[in-house]
Amino acid sequence: LMSSYVKRFELSASLEEVYKAITTEKGIKSWWTVDCDISTEIGGVHSFRFERLLFNSMKIVNLIPNEKVHWTCVEGWNEWKGTDVVFKLRSIGTRKTSVEFQHNGLTPSLSCYKMCSKGWDDTLLHLQQYVEHGEANAHVPKTGLKGVLSRTAFKVFSRKYTK
């Protein structure tokens, strides 16, 4: 059985702050992409866009306050569809939180694995910068000609991963 992408790390922030960062619109727009629609309840769907193009939609499967966040991909790149994103949180002291992040189904056999695991490494680092220092480092769509070029590149690139 090929193992999925898993990353365990510690954050110098309280459990509540970390949970809020991964379950609120303000939080998610600070570390992943500013171009997204965020739901806050179980059964709701988040839609994440890069260069104004849909990257994926994640349905909220479970929310256990300050403990667990579970999403499943319902739309987007084929290799992501049906995969699960899970954040498990644990307090390990005053203003210290242990995070176990899993993207279940994102395995090394997938063609996007190398790029997507690197993407998660960067994105989770942005989460850390946000909860520890208040630095918002999410993706912002480019404007003007750069925007047109980036959008075209993302569209062409995404073709490989979508029907």
Residues 124-161 pLDDT 10s:
999 999 999 999 999 999 888 898 888 888 888 888 88
pLDDT, residue 7, reads 98
pLDDT, residue 156, reads 86
pLDDT, residue 82, reads 97
Question: How does the average pLDDT of the chain come out, rounded?
Answer: 95
Q: How far apart are CA 112 and CA 143, in angstroms?
A: 27
Q: Which helix (H) or strand (E) holds 9?
A: strand 5-11
pLDDT higher than 90, residue 1: no
Would you give the end-to-end CA distance of the chain in angstroms?
26
Q: How far apart are CA 81 and CA 85, in angstroms?
A: 11
Q: Which of 11-20, 80-89, 145-154 has the lowest mean pLDDT?
A: 145-154
Q: How far apart are CA 90 and CA 127, in angstroms?
A: 16
pLDDT, residue 163, reads 67
Condensed to tens digits (0 to 9), the pLDDT of residues 56-74 reads 999 999 999 999 999 999 9
pLDDT higher than 80, residue 44: yes
- Burial (CB < 10 A; 0-12, 13-18, 19+), residue 108, is exposed
